[in-house]
A and B are shown apart, each in its own frame.
Chain A
């Protein structure tokens, strides 16, 4: 078990991608989250999972309890806006009647799940029914109107013609269905970030069973951390069943070094924000959830 102040606790880290061609067609990166959840469903490790599908407006994510491969696949692709994943966590164990719930989401949503497991406050049955969590790396998120402004004004694209969005190499990338690509410098997007993200001290979903993200691995591949016993069990089974191609993270560029660098940047910057809140007013502080 490795315990890293910036990357969290983990057993192993690898670069991987799914061997399922159908999943890869629309996956954001290596199709790790989708493949893990479909595999877990087929194996009976979970009997349903909370995912983010497209909501009422173009590129607006909506949390959804998926109970079939088909529905899980609908959630492929990153939507750079807020999807309140955890709002379905208790209901998944109620009207959906699930015994083994899967949860996908970003770092703060993994934190919410773990808090609900250790300190269940009006969350009866939840602690024992969370079966698998897959957490995504997350630098920051945007309210829907922010994302709309970024795509429609800064990138000058119609939201409903967009095929994929991506943050990478210092830019916000917008790909359209008809093959056009627009970029804008990430600097221009900073003012649109969700303010609550500025006190977040987690980049690579430290509290998930398995966490995955694009940074560190080549295009079409994902960087994957195997963290818990449960995560290790599921990952080993999936690899043995031929669900993934894997490479040691040491053998890929830019590798763990870049993940570490970005994680350190995020955490150091946000830790400073948490500190500054203590003297935000005159003899008055803003609240610190970590105190």
Chain B
């Protein structure tokens, strides 16, 4: 509760965000930067399907609230006409990289140069996902055959795995990134703790598969048969036989969701037991 109260205090309570005063001034003076301290957010589209961006938008008014108070969307070819990748605090990158497409390779390098925090948004950016199965030979660029997750070309700070990624996770990461860059010391500490497992996933691997459950959970003596992996799988490739995961690996699209969702992949006791306060805090800042 103390955590929640202190965060509410510094975020300006439930109903009255600190930006209100500034906003009034805006109406009078028509400043170009209506709300102070917003972070610069960009959406970079590599070889993706835009489903990740749809997931961003599927936060509905929560997304509008974020754009009102916490972030400016400085780049997104789908939503705005900024043509070239600008400086960004946080780049949400979706899709993998076709290494036979020069522009794409330049884009991802440019993104790393221009962004303080690079987020692999969704499973294509994180793990390759369905583009792992690409092998070229199709009209009219039959030589476009090799696709890599962005982490194989640049350093990635944070993973948001999922195909599709959950809107709520994208929202949480955005709010936490704001706190990390603009919050007080306590908020920064909370954001750091929250983001750590998603940063660890980014360090761990650029491959995702049902096999993660075998290699890093069951084979490691960690599986407790809770069933979470089966719920998270977007293609229902996982069932449970005698309480243990059974994968249909020819159905698996290699999105890495099951391992991410598994409570025995990461379980950070310095964050998850605070679920009540953190959920209330996130709901509070989006009110």
Contact = CB atoms under 8 A, between A and B. Distances in A.
Nearest to B1: A1
Contact of A286 (B221, B260, B269): B221
A227 to B, nearest CB: 9
Interface string B257-269: 1101101111111
A90 B220 contact: no
A206 interface: yes
B163 A127 contact: no
B241 to A, nearest CB: 10
B122 to A, nearest CB: 10
B222 A109 contact: no
Given A115-B261, A289-B266, A84 B271 contact: no
Which bracket fits the contact residues of B?
35 or more
A12 B266 CA distance: 30
Contacts of B224: 82, 108, 141, 194, 196-197, 200
Nearest to A197: B224
A46 B279 CA distance: 19
B232 A118 contact: no
B220 A115 contact: no
A122 B269 contact: no
Interface string A108-123: 1101101111111111
A171 B273 CA distance: 32
Contacts of A127: 166, 168, 279
Contacts of B272: 111, 114-115, 118-119, 207
A267 to B, nearest CB: 12
B129 to A, nearest CB: 11
Nearest first, the 10 closest Cβ-Cβ pairs linking A and B are A84-B227, A82-B243, A87-B227, A122-B257, A82-B225, A121-B260, A87-B230, A120-B166, A196-B224, A86-B227
Interface in B146-196: 161-169, 172, 194
A232 to B, nearest CB: 11
Interface string A93-131: 000000000000100110110111111111110111000
A165 interface: no
A231 to B, nearest CB: 10
Contacts of A290: 267-269
B221 to A, nearest CB: 5
B264 A289 contact: yes
B73 to A, nearest CB: 22
Interface of B: 1, 55, 58, 161-169, 172, 194, 197-198, 216, 220-228, 230-234, 240, 242-244, 255, 257-258, 260-261, 263-269, 271-273, 275-276, 278-279
A84 B161 contact: no
A115 B225 contact: no
Nearest to B255: A122
Given A122-B166, A207-B272, A115 B227 contact: no
A88 B221 contact: no
A118 B263 contact: no
Nearest to A85: B227
Contacts of A91: 231
B242 A194 contact: no
A116 B261 contact: yes
Contacts of A9: 273
A286 B261 contact: no
Contacts of B266: 289
Contacts of B198: 119
B227 A121 contact: no
A213 interface: no
